[in-house]
Amino acid sequence: MANEKRNVSMPRVLVVDDEVAIQRFLRSVLIAEGFSLNVTDNGAEALSAAVLFKPDVILLDLGLPDMDGVEVINRLREWSTVPIIVLSVREQENDKVKALDAGADDYLTKPFGMAELMARVRVALRRSVQKPEPVFRSGDLEVDLASRKVILQGAEVQLTPTEYDLLRFLVTHAGKVITHNQILIQLWGVAYVDQPQVLRVNISNLRQKIEADASRPRYIITEPGVGYRLTAPG
């Protein structure tokens, strides 16, 4: 944890949530973790704070009093690539997908614990400051993007070209949720948006090859109703 702090040296977090209790919780946790904080409770202020405060990461609640959270994301994405983590409640799968498709980087389901929060924030920060490395390592899995090699426990795994492309897409977004649509459009094209089975089959095949137990996946995690997430290293 101490290492993390030094690495990112007082990163700035913009919290956008109209619930005072959540604001207080986030404030105490994030300040204790060494973040510099700006808190606002509406979309309009969030948009101007994004310009003035120059946050390194934004925590955005979707249910804002003045405008739709997805609208805030759209406006931000017109000029900024700052990582956005959406805070949402469980029954909003559709909203989560909309927010992610609009360009949010990740989401946290309320209620969430501190460990989850910090993990997401760290992934977001790392992605914003670091360039993707040519070799991805997570647990026993190693993906060499330069030589297109996938190594599990030291042995090379044979993947079909589609499986490799899928894994590479997940690796380049490691730690972040990717929606079904994002993957389908990237790998198969817009025409396949309504045919998620092609994605399910490839995910299933990929898991058979790289997971020790495909029923308890460690690398490719399913976010039900939303998408997939490749476990970030560390």
Partner 1 sequence: MPRLSTLYRMVRPSGVYGYIVGLSLVAGATLVCEVLRHFLLPINLLMIYLLTVVLVALNTGLKPAIAAVALAGFIYNYLYTPPRFVFDFFDKEYLVTFFGLFITGAVISSLVNKASERAEILRVREAETACLYHLSRELAVAADAASILRTVVDNVEESIQAQIALFLPNGEQLEMVAASRELTIDLQELDLPVWAFHHSLVAGHGTGLHETAKLVYFPLKTLSKNIGVMAINLAEDSDFSFDQMFRLLEAFAAQTAMALERVNLSHQAEQAKISLAQQKLERALLNSVSHDLRSPLATITGVLTSILEQGDNLTEQVRRELLENAREEAARLNRFVGNLLDISRLEARGAILKKEPCDVQDLIGCALAATERQMQGRTVGVNLVKDLPMVAMDMVLMNHVLINLLDNALKYSLPDGVVDISARCNDEKLILQVADTGPGVPVDELKRIFEKFYRIPVPESIKGTGLGLSICNGIVEAHGGKIWADNRPGGGFVVTLEMPLQAASQEKETPHG
Q: Which residues bind partner 1 (CB under 8 A)?
A: 90-91, 93, 111, 113, 196-197, 200-201, 203-204, 207, 213-217, 221-222, 224-225
Report how far residue 186's alpha carbon sits from residue 165's, in angstroms, rounded to the nearest whole number.
Answer: 10
Residue closer to partner 1, measured from CB, 50 or 174 = 174
For the chain, report the end-to-end CA distance as a whole number of angstroms. 12
Yes or no: say if 73 and 50 are a contact pair by the CB < 8 Å rule.
Answer: no
In sequence order, the 6+-apart residues with CB closer than 8 A to the CB of 87 are: 17, 22, 59, 60, 61, 62, 107, 108, 110, 112
Q: In whole angstroms, how close is the CB of 120 to partner 1 at the nearest point?
A: 16
Q: In whole angstroms, how close is the CB of 154 to partner 1 at the nearest point?
A: 25
Residue closer to partner 1, measured from CB, 47 or 114 = 114
**Which H or E element spans position 14?**
strand 12-16
Q: In whole angstroms, how close is the CB of 152 to partner 1 at the nearest point?
A: 18
User: Is the alpha carbon torsion for 180, 183, 186, 189 positive or negative?
Assistant: negative
Report how far residue 132's alpha carbon sits from residue 126's, in angstroms, rounded to the nearest whole number.
Answer: 10
Residue closer to partner 1, measured from CB, 67 or 114 = 114
Q: In whole angstroms, how close is the CB of 228 to partner 1 at the nearest point?
A: 10
Q: Kind of pairing, strands 12-16 and 177-179? A: unpaired
Residue closer to partner 1, measured from CB, 119 or 214 = 214
Q: In whole angstroms, how close is the CB of 144 to partner 1 at the nearest point?
A: 27
Residue closer to partner 1, measured from CB, 130 or 197 = 197
SS3 content of the chain, % helix, strand, coil (to 5): 45, 25, 35
Residue closer to partner 1, measured from CB, 153 or 204 = 204
DSSP state of 188: T
